[in-house]
Amino acid sequence: MKRSGGWRATSVLSLLFMLMLPAVSAADGQFEVISASSRLENEYWLVDARLELILSREAIEALENGVTLRIQMQYEVNRHHRFWVDQTISDRNQNIELQYLSLSQRYVVRDLTRDKQASYATLYSALRSLSQIKDFRFVKASKLKADTRYWMSMRVVLDQEELPGPLQMLAFWRGDFSLESEWYKWIPR
């Protein structure tokens, strides 16, 4: 049976389209820790970080329809073992709520961990402020031994557990709200 050149062209185009699908959906929303560092100050390790926060279309639509989104920064300190599994010494979350107020047409960012709040005219400026972590008090210096090697790590996630019930079910089945970064690791200096 002889196959035509049109069949091959269609097959190649179909394959290219299928390969592009994950890239299109991944570009729709993305969380990433671009850089993070820590420093010792007043008996605490403080974290500074720069993030990239891009919400999916579904998350933006939910936000603009009155759903409050909770973005969580997760931090860990792990003790490095040479021939064994690393041990988690400390972990802490920084919870931030993002809300759109339709009456005033403002985006409100509430840092629930630090008990601070700010208001922004655009979603871009609200996300931009969220993407700069400065002086987050992470762990007491007394928890870490001076002669031991540690790793600090951080990631950012859209907390689906804080979504309203029906939206949680939809998010579970469709994955529209599955925004989380990879763990970013560094050695404290």
Number of domains composing the chain: 1
Global pTM?
0.75
**CA 51 – CA 74 distance, rounded (Å):** 13
* 80-102: average pLDDT: 85
**CA 22 – CA 26 distance, rounded (Å):** 6
In a domain, 105, yes or no: yes
**69 in Cβ contact with 82 (< 8 Å):** no
pLDDT tens per residue, range 60-76:
988 998 889 999 999 99
Instruction: Say if residue 137's pLDDT is above 70.
Output: yes
- Percent residues over pLDDT 70 in the chain: 76
Confidence band (pLDDT; 50, 70, 90) for 176? low
What's at 94, amino acid-wise? Answer: Q
What pLDDT is stored for residue 161 in this prediction? 64
In a domain, 1, yes or no: no
In a domain, 19, yes or no: no
In a domain, 85, yes or no: yes
In a domain, 21, yes or no: no
Question: What mean pLDDT, rounded, does the chain reach?
Answer: 81
* 115-142: average pLDDT: 94
Integer CA distances (angstroms), 119 to 27, 69, 105, 158, in order: 27, 15, 10, 20
Cβ partners under 8 Å of residue 54, min gap 6:
29, 30, 31, 127
Cβ partners under 8 Å of residue 68, min gap 6:
97, 98, 99, 162
- Helix residue ranges per DSSP H, 29-163: 57-64, 123-130
Query: In the block, which residue shows the tokens 């529209």?
Result: 176
Between 55 and 5, the higher pLDDT residue: 55
What pLDDT is stored for residue 21 in this prediction? 43
In a domain, 4, yes or no: no
**CA 5 – CA 118 distance, rounded (Å):** 60
In a domain, 151, yes or no: yes
Between 9 and 135, the higher pLDDT residue: 135
Instruction: Say if residue 19's pLDDT is above 70.
Output: no
What pLDDT is stored for residue 84 in this prediction? 72
In a domain, 24, yes or no: no
Range of the domain at 126: 29-186
What sign does the CA torsion over 140, 35, 54, 174 have? Answer: negative
> Mind giving me the DSSP string for 72-104?
EEEEEEEE--SSS--EEEEEEEEEEEEEEETTT
